[in-house]
Structure 1
Amino acid sequence: MTTSTPQTPLGTGYGPATTAGEVVAGVDLTGRIAIVTGGYSGLGVETVRALRTAGASVVVPVRNREKAAETLADIDGVQLEPMDLQDPASVDAFADRFLDADRPLHMLVNSAGIMAVPFSRDERGYESQFATNHLGHFQLTLRLWPALLRAGAAVGARVVAVSSWGHRRSDIVWDDVHFERRPYDPMSAYGQSKTANNLFAVELDRRGRDHGVRAFSLHPGMILTPLARHIGADDLRGMGVIDENGEPVIDPSRSMKTPPQGAATSVWCATSPQLDGHGGVYCENSDIAPLVPEGDDPVAAAVERVRTRESSFFGVMPYSIDPHSATRLWELSEKLTGVHA
């Protein structure tokens, strides 16, 4: 199995406590255009803040303009445009408006998502986490492909899929992606959608790299944001995300981060010159993450290495960056969305 870039840390000099602001220090993004989905909630806000600080023009797709305007009020110059990832017509309309302006797209950060939600389907009958976290972003990215190519041909373009270490919870269940025959489990559905994010970056990078378009996926860390609204306090305590008083636990060495720290890897993937010539890899802590080594219980071993501070990386499950699975997912996604590059 190969990826376009080895799944091996570069030794970037950054670490788990690095913030998004530190990543863009000295980076000039003047004249560059970025789209950040989920840019008015959680990590997306800090991603937008860092990109604007470095001089980029930033477009944020929004379902709730009033909420977005209030949340982003302290960040000047952000363009808000209506879009709902669960509504294919809305995604098309957003992409059409952007393409009609004949602008290049240098950075597409697919940061929006839902997590562990109660079972539901979209209007097409697709399971909601897979539909939102993967298919919505798949459609958006392919519809924006001409703008990415325009940027790629000039100075390069990057697509960033904000995934999660939660991908360990499920490979793609090819014969029942939408939970039509198996019991629904919220975290398994979330894990499947995050594996899809990783595989999407692998195949997108393969298709785009000769055109100057590179793609990355990443684990931001364990950060208490509105994403976790459907997880109970007892479960959050069990995961070590909050303490007995319900306060967030901050320990970057164990991947428990503040929002500015959590946004760092997204921003690094979108902007860092350290990634020039690289792509198709899964990242953590503003670096390329290692593979989770095979073993009797590789997930438990990875968690233990981080818990004991033997490593700052959880790593990536090999199945979630497998190039054959990536191609298979791309073809399935084209069929499910009716969208082709």
Structure 2
Amino acid sequence: MAHIEETPTMTTAQQPLHSGFGAASTAEDVIKGIDLTGKVAIVTGGYSGIGLETSRILRAAGAEVVVPARDPERARAALKETDGVAVEPMDLIDPASVDALAERFLASGRPLHILVNSAGIMATPPTRDARGYEAQFATNHLGHFRLVARLWPALVAAHGARVVSVSSRGIRFSPVVFEDLHFEHRAYDPFLAYGQSKTANALFAVELDRRGRAEGVRAFAVHPGQIIDTGLAKHLSEEALRAAGVLDEEGRPVRDPARQQKTVPQGAATGVWCATNPRLDGLGGVYCENCDISPVVTAGNEAEWRARPGLPGVLPYAVDPEAAARLWEVSERLTA
């Protein structure tokens, strides 16, 4: 087979790099030896769960960290142990609020080296935003889409920015259903809506990377693992969580990194790895888990993948370049 030269226009292969880290690695493990002095990071949702750990780790490595928060007082209280993190008001579901945050950041004249889109909602009751959009899609995908678009000049100014889109194995619940994004023509299901939004997060990284790499902006999607004590599962009953095998009989979180059931420091590791690891220089547009690039799930092993939560992999529809390009165009229309 002829040797093909790597060029900046090539897409990174969706296959493991054998990074040396794994499911049990923590964010502290992957940041060792990496100095972020002089770098600026924004972490949405950076005051709870894996977002809080991400903020803490990036700050400890020397980065200047900004955390946009729907509830700034709660965010400041959560971050009180982490010196030097700036909290700014922002609500992802409110376009004017996203624009205002971006305008304030751009006015500071700083480049943006790292953007971790960690905020999200899961399995909510049927809710629509002021535009009539389904809330999980509007918050998890469209809010972050708008934020990246508005912060674009600062990302380009970094001359080597990385955008990390926190997706989830929830992609298994649904592709992006372009014919009915907002559940206007089908019964609302909280997990179908969540799955669609997480698939959108993964596809966003694919097309963002394609559009951004010529200007040094690379993008990654991550499955952090199943971390039950982040507040994300607040709309689910304890009974449902026990049935899913993530709580034991006493109601305590089950920890088993081999099955993707992780602690918060383990859950934050893949996002931090994607945001900072030098092995990913020049790469992007891939879905990652367990601090490595995930393999693609094939038709032959999809049933096994769905049955075994510890088996890494990404469904083809969540990294499909055509679906990613279509989602980008639809998102531009929806965010005007």
- Please indicate the TM-score interval, normalised by the length of the shorter structure: over 0.9
Residue identity matched to 1:113: G
Q: Does the 8 Å contact 1:35/1:108 carry over to 2?
A: yes
Partner of 2:89: 82
Residue identity matched to 1:323: P
Partner of 1:309: none
Is the partner of 1:228 in helix, strand or coil? coil
1:222 maps onto 2:220 in alignment: no
Q: Does the 8 Å contact 1:162/1:266 carry over to 2?
A: yes
Partner of 1:259: 264
1:122 maps onto 2:125 in alignment: no
Q: Does the 8 Å contact 2:172/2:306 carry over to 1?
A: no
Residue by residue, what CA displacement relative to the aligned partner does 1:261-298 show, whole Å, maximum 9, x if unpaired? 00000100100001111100000000000011113x71
Shift of 1:305: 4.7
Shift of 1:237: 1.3
Report the TM-score when normalising by structure 1: 0.94
Is the partner of 2:194 in helix, strand or coil? helix
Q: Does the 8 Å contact 1:289/1:313 carry over to 2?
A: no
* Mapping of residues 276-295 of structure 1, within 5 Å: 276-295=281-300
1:319 maps onto 2:322 in alignment: no
Q: Note closer, same or farther for the CA distance 1:127–1:305 as it changes in structure 2 (3 Å cut).
A: closer
Residue by residue, what CA displacement relative to the aligned partner does 1:93-152 show, whole Å, maximum 9, x if unpaired? 000000011110000000000000000100000000000000000000000000000002
Shift of 1:218: 0.8
Partner of 1:239: 244
Partner of 1:275: 280
Residue identity matched to 2:284: G
Q: Does the 8 Å contact 1:3/1:202 carry over to 2?
A: no
Partner of 2:331: 333
Partner of 2:138: 131
Q: Which moved more, 1:230-239 or 1:34-43?
A: 230-239
Residue identity matched to 1:17: A
- Among 249, 266, 270, the residue aligned to 2:254: 249
Shift of 1:201: 0.3
Report the TM-score when normalising by structure 2: 0.95
Shift of 1:314: 2.7
- Among 31, 42, 49, the residue aligned to 2:49: 42
Residue by residue, what CA displacement relative to the aligned partner does 1:44-88 show, whole Å, maximum 9, x if unpaired? 000001101110000000111211111111111000101000100
1:162 maps onto 2:166 in alignment: yes
Is the partner of 2:59 in helix, strand or coil? helix
Q: Does the 8 Å contact 1:303/1:314 carry over to 2?
A: no
Is the partner of 1:263 in helix, strand or coil? helix
Residue by residue, what CA displacement relative to the aligned partner does 1:148-190 show, whole Å, maximum 9, x if unpaired? 00002xxx10000000000111011111000001000000000
Is the partner of 2:331 in helix, strand or coil? helix
Within 2, Cα distance between the matches of 1:186 and 1:305? 22
Residue identity matched to 1:95: A
Within 2, Cα distance between the matches of 1:8 and 1:223? 24
Q: Which moved more, 1:97-106 or 1:227-236?
A: 227-236
Shift of 1:3: 7.5
User: What percentage of aligned pairs have identical amino acids?
Assistant: 64
Residue identity matched to 1:267: V
Unaligned runs of at least 5 residues, structure 2: 1-8
Please report the RMSD computed on the Cα atoms of aligned residues, expressed in angstroms. Answer: 1.2
Within 1, Cα distance between the matches of 2:123 and 2:93? 16
Within 2, Cα distance between the matches of 1:192 and 1:303? 16
1:202 maps onto 2:200 in alignment: no
Within 2, Cα distance between the matches of 1:209 and 1:83? 27
Partner of 2:25: 18
Structure 1 residue ranges (4+ consecutive) displaced by more than 6 angstroms after TM superposition? none
Shift of 1:313: 3.9
